[in-house]
Chains A and B, each alone.
Chain A
Amino acid sequence: MEDFAFHRPGSVAEAQETLRGTEDSKFMAGGQSLIPLMKLDMAAPGAVVSLTGIDELRGIEQQDGSLVIGAGMTHSEVAESDDVRNAISALAGLAGSIGDPQVRNRGTLGGSVAHADPAADYPAALVALGATVITDRREIAAEDFFQGMFETPLETDEVITSVRFPVPDSAGYSKFPNPASKYAIAGVMVARNGADVKVAVTGAGTGVFRATAFEEALAGDFSAGALDGASVSADGLVSDTDASAEYRAHLVGVMARRAVEACG
Chain B
Amino acid sequence: MRKVVRRGNFVFTYVIENDDDPTTPSTFRVYKKEGDGSWIAGAGFETTRPGTDGGLGCSATLTFTEHPPTLTTPRDEPCRLFARFHPLSGSLSMPTVSLTVNGQAVEGEAEGRTLLVDFIRETLGLTGTHVGCDTSQCGACVVHVGGASVKSCTMLAVEADGADVTTVEGLATNGTLHPMQTAFHEHHGLQCGFCTPGMMLSGIDLVGRNANPSEHEVREWLEGNLCRCTGYHNIVKAVQAAAAEMGG
Contact = CB atoms under 8 A, between A and B. Distances in A.
Contact of A238 (B13, B91, B95): B13
Interface residues of B, number: 57
Given A102-B151, A150-B54, A241 B7 contact: yes
B132 to A, nearest CB: 14
Interface in A46-61: 46-48, 50, 52
A4 B115 CA distance: 12
Interface stretch (A35-43, A126-134, A186-194, A254-262): A35-43
B57 A151 contact: yes
B159 A50 contact: yes
Contacts of B4: 238-240
Contacts of B205: 101, 105
B186 interface: no
A128 B9 CA distance: 23
A2 interface: yes
A148 interface: yes
A181 B74 contact: no
B223 A100 contact: yes
Interface stretch (B136-144, B167-175, B187-195, B228-236): B136-144
B80 interface: yes
Contacts of B142: 102
Interface string A180-213: 1111000000000000000000000010000000
A39 B95 contact: no
B55 A31 contact: no
B56 A150 contact: yes
B74 A42 contact: yes
Contacts of A40: 10, 74-75, 80, 82
* Chain A interface size, under 10 / 10 to 19 / 20 to 34 / 35 or more: 35 or more
Interface string B120-151: 00000000000000111101001000001111
A5 B92 contact: yes
A183 B29 CA distance: 19
Interface string B72-83: 001100001011
A1 interface: yes
Contacts of B35: 24
Contact of A150 (B57, B95, B156, B202): B57
Given A43-B56, A100-B223, A115-B55, A242 B159 contact: no
Interface string A133-161: 00000000000000111111010100000
Given A101-B149, A152-B55, A181-B8, A31 B155 contact: yes
Interface of A: 1-6, 8, 24, 26, 31-44, 46-48, 50, 52, 76, 80, 99-103, 105-106, 114-119, 147-152, 154, 156, 180-183, 206, 236, 238-242
26 contacts: A3-B93, A3-B111, A8-B159, A31-B155, A33-B56, A35-B115, A35-B154, A36-B136, A41-B33, A52-B159, A100-B139, A101-B149, A101-B205, A101-B223, A101-B224, A102-B149, A102-B151, A106-B155, A150-B11, A150-B31, A156-B53, A181-B137, A238-B4, A238-B11, A240-B4, A241-B7
Given A5-B93, A42-B32, A238-B13, 18 more contacts: A4-B92, A4-B113, A5-B92, A6-B95, A36-B9, A39-B135, A40-B75, A40-B82, A43-B33, A76-B148, A99-B224, A103-B136, A103-B154, A114-B55, A116-B54, A148-B29, A149-B59, A181-B9
- A-B pairs with lowest CB-CB distance, top 8: A100-B224, A150-B57, A151-B54, A6-B112, A42-B31, A240-B7, A3-B91, A105-B148
